[in-house]
Amino acid sequence: NALKKLLQSNTEEDVIKASMLAFHHADNCANNDNSDFDHDTQQNVQNAIQSLCQLNGVGPATASAVLSAYCPQSFAFMDDEVIECLYEAKRGYTLKIYMMVNDRCVGIAKELNEANSDCSSGGGEVWTPADVGKALWTVATMSARKDEVSLCKVFG
């Protein structure tokens, strides 16, 4: 597999260096409560993705998988179904498309948290961009499988 060979061509030192830099940028995002996903935060999101993309065989989708696990409050996973739900043009895996999709997930998470009165009192679940992506993936997958029973359970 060509991708596997590319990934294996990265040295341990390269992986550690790129990961530490990406996590540093992600940590700069983590202190943000998503109520104000400002220019500096967006720049840190972009820098974190770009840091991991310096590794051979790693693109924005793979980088987003790592970062959504590390810092779900700032990063959604760039999954096919999430792109299809939130990006109106032809599906792609570029940094530009990731930034648009992630920004939409951040916005949806913010709206859900504002609508959930339990969140504002500190007693409820808080939505993250990663949660939004997982929810979109789940619904898209159920819909693709024509799983009407599960869709009815979700939507009543």
- Please tell me the predicted confidence (pLDDT) of residue 29: 87
- Please tell me the predicted confidence (pLDDT) of residue 123: 60
Using an 8 Å Cβ cutoff, are 30 and 56 in contact?
no
Average pLDDT value for residue range 110-131 = 79
> Whole-angstrom distance between the N-terminal and C-terminal Cα of the chain?
44
13-17, 39-43, 98-102: least confident range: 39-43
Residue 74 CA to chain centroid, in angstroms?
7
Confidence of residue 33 (pLDDT cuts 50, 70, 90): low
Average pLDDT value for residue range 95-123 = 84
Rounded to the nearest 10 degrees, the angle between the axes of helix 95-115 and helix 60-70 is 30
Return the structure tokens found at 61. 């989708």
- Please tell me the predicted confidence (pLDDT) of residue 147: 76
* Residues ≥6 apart with Cβ < 8 Å to 139: 151, 154
Average pLDDT value for residue range 43-71 = 97
Using an 8 Å Cβ cutoff, are 133 and 79 in contact?
yes
Return the structure tokens found at 68. 């959504």
Q: What CA–CA distance (Å, rounded) separates 112 from 99?
A: 20
Using an 8 Å Cβ cutoff, are 75 and 105 in contact?
no
1-5, 15-19, 41-45, 129-133: least confident range: 1-5
